[in-house]
Structure 1
Amino acid sequence: MNIIITVAQVIGGLVSGSLSLLSDALHNFSDVLSLVVTFFANRLAKKEASIKRTFGFKRAEIMAAFINAATLIVIAIFLIIEAIERFQNPHRIQSLTVIILSSVAIIGNGISVLLLKKDSKVNMNMRSAYMHLITDMMASIAVLSGGLLMKFYGLYWVDSVLTFIIAMYLIFVGYDLLKPSFKILMLYTPDKIAIKDVVIEVNKLPAVKSIHHIHVWQLNEDETHLEAHIDFNDDIKVSEFVEILHMIEDVLRMKFGINHVTLQPEYEKEDSKDIIVQD
């Protein structure tokens, strides 16, 4: 549906001379790319891990979300430049073509939005594709409004203004998607987790002297990992460590949502006991 909409709008934009229709076509084309990337990312994420890819392709969906968001911003910058140039030199536009094709785009994108709505609530990659489509539907509504103003009132400068507004909104939406995916790719500590609170909770356990050298990151939206060194008060047995490990895993899972824990046990080891250590 989005490929058909894109081709129709490109042809219609060139024939009618409408920059806002072309901008909507470019946005629709980004939707096509978004959906293609999303489809293949979902397929890749389901592939099993291997010796060469011990995590499998679990980051594929995050990469897709990042690419989709970056695409939105790049397209928006291009549209802003074109809109400013067109505003200085308004062109007469075939408004009927704009009205017809923007209406088609609204219907097509509306159906796509409904199809992706459910999955967009639980997956960043699907949410990025969903946001592409819903913003494009809104953009098409704006283009339709502009087409009506041009047809009945001859306000051709509206085309450039609408293009500028659509582009600014694309930047806003793109940044909102780019930021969380960038944080995951850069191994940032998740916003919802305070490492100092993690230290306080783990250090409450009687056998634990200190937890230090901590790393917390998200592999994807579903997996949050923690690795750390843990210093014990006594020279305990491995079997005792396993029991304490289960307690730590329970605390981290229930209080912080951390579902993958790797700990290096230590006793009187001479190393840095700082919470954060530069590797």
Structure 2
Amino acid sequence: MGHNHSHNHTHAHPDLKGRNLFISILLNIVITVSQVIGGVLSGSLALLSDALHNFSDVLSLVVSYAANKLAKKKASTHRTFGYKRAEILAAFINASTLIIVATLLIIEAIKRFRNPEAIESGLVIWLSLLGIVANGLSVLLLKKDSEANMNMKSAYLHLLTDMMASVAVLVGGLLMKYYEVYWVDSVLTFAIAIYLIWMGFDLLKDSTKVLMLFTPDSIPIRQIVEEINAFESIKNVHHVHVWQLNEEEIHLEAHIDFKEDISLSQFDLILHEIEDLVFHKYDINHVNIQPEFGKNDAKDMIVQD
């Protein structure tokens, strides 16, 4: 059996990355608490929905920060993969709760639109400005790391959209202050909630696929099997599994039936070629091949275990 681990980790300034994440978490906690208090005092549902958005990003940042720390822990006999899926599990939970709360906000926004209430617009304006400044600082802190790390890029994009949502709330606050169009608060709440559901559903779908061991959308299994089958010494590729462990690792497992009873050294050379093929062309960085010769088993590409 051949088994390969090819890793592509970014080791540049891990402490600085963790520090920037921690500062961003603190900034977003300040924003969230301020907006919740401000939303209750002012009666602005838009401010409360923006606070929910910021809170969801606090959770995302905490997960990223925890993953950064947990990644340093070694695997063990009880945890052979370590804590590599903690981030995916947290994303699934966060996305589920985000969709539920956003749906409740839509219901409340529709009720409020039918019966608009006066909003303390001054508080809304000042708190949205706080959100713009704090999220802007967080975006600047994470921008450099986002260029080289998928996790950091996700956090960066969340914070960037947070800043845009705060800009929308600021515009709404100004409209309410100078034109007394209080229904705009409900409209903004509805728009932010729809965005939260869209973002949450996408995250829920992606995390579910990973947890269910579905084949990543970017991996064409049939094409990969055809390319491996084209090797001169290979008779058949079957019992194929491809799954994503986390954001950085894609695994390929397969049984390969050889035309001749080759030696282990010959198999190692072929395995190396397969590893190079799937890594450079499909970003599959973990390959587990079971070599076979004349074995009487199912030869279907996909076999239900």
**TM-score class normalised by the smaller sequence:** over 0.9
1:220-269 deviation per Cα after TM superposition (whole angstroms, max 9, x unaligned)? 22222111111011122222222222222222222222221111111111
Partner of 2:271: 245
Q: Does 1:46 align with 2:72?
A: yes
Choose the corresponding residue for 1:157, options 179, 183, 200.
183
Q: Are the counterparts in 2 of residues 187 and 217 from structure 1 also a CA contact under 8 Å? A: yes
Unaligned runs of 5+ in 2: 1-26
> Runs of 4+ in structure 1 displaced over 6 angstroms?
none
Q: Distance in 2 between matches of 1:173 and 1:132?
A: 10
Partner of 1:16: 42
TM-score by length of 1: 0.93
Say if 2:99 is the partner of 1:73. yes
Mapped partners of 1:192, 1:89: distance in 2: 48
Aligned 8 A contact 1:45 1:59 in 2 = no
Tell me which of 83, 88, 91 is aligned to 1:57: 83
SS at match of 2:190: helix
Q: Distance in 1 between the 2:98 and 2:156 partners?
A: 13
User: Residue 198 of structure 2 corresponds to which residue in structure 1?
Assistant: 172
Residue 185 (structure 1) shift: 2.0
Q: Residues 91-102 of structure 1: matches in 2 within 5 Å?
A: 91-102=117-128
Name the amino acid aligned to 2:30.
I
> Higher relative CO (CA 8 A, sep ≥ 6), structure 1 or 2?
2
Whole-Å Cα distance in 2 between the matches of residues 180 and 63 of structure 1? 11
Q: CA RMSD in A?
A: 1.8
In structure 1, the partner of 2:7 is none
Deviation at 1:61, TM superposition (A): 2.8
Do the aligned residues in 2 keep the contact of 1:98 with 1:147 (CA within 8 Å)? Answer: yes
Identity across matched positions, percent: 67
Alignment of 1:59-208 (within 5 A): 59-208=85-234
Does the CA contact (< 8 Å) of 1:95 and 1:151 recur in 2?
yes
* Equivalent residue pairs, number: 279
CA distance in 2, matches of 1:251, 1:26: 45
**What whole-Å deviation, never above 9, does each CA across 1:165-220 have from its counterpart, x for those lacking one?**
11111122223333333222221212222111111111111111011110011222
Higher deviation after alignment, 9-18 or 267-276: 9-18
The 2-side partners of 1:259 and 1:121 are apart by 21
Is 1:62–1:124's contact at 8 Å kept on the other side of the alignment? no
User: Residues 147 and 159 of structure 1: is their aligned pair in 2 closer, same or farther, counting only changes over 3 Å?
Assistant: same
Per the alignment, in what secondary structure is the counterpart of residue 186 of structure 2? helix
> Cα 1:119–1:69, aligned 2, differ >3 Å: closer, same or farther?
farther
CA shift for structure 1 position 133: 2.0
Residue matched to 2:12: none
CA distance in 1, matches of 2:244, 2:158: 24
- Structure 1 residues 250 and 117 mapped into 2: Cα distance closer, same or farther (>3 Å)? same
Q: Find the aligned partners of 1:220 and 1:135 in 2 and give their Cα distance.
A: 24
What is the TM-score normalised by the length of structure 2?
Answer: 0.85
Q: Aligned-pair distance for 1:146?
A: 0.8
Counterpart amino acid of residue 130 in structure 2: V
SS in 2 for 1:212: strand
CA contact (8 A) 1:21 1:98 kept: yes
Deviates more, 1:71-80 or 1:226-235: 71-80
Q: Is contact 1:231-1:265 (8 Å) kept? A: yes
Return the offset for 1:80: 0.7
My pick for the range that moved more, 118-127 or 54-63, is: 118-127
Helix, strand or coil at the partner of 2:261: coil
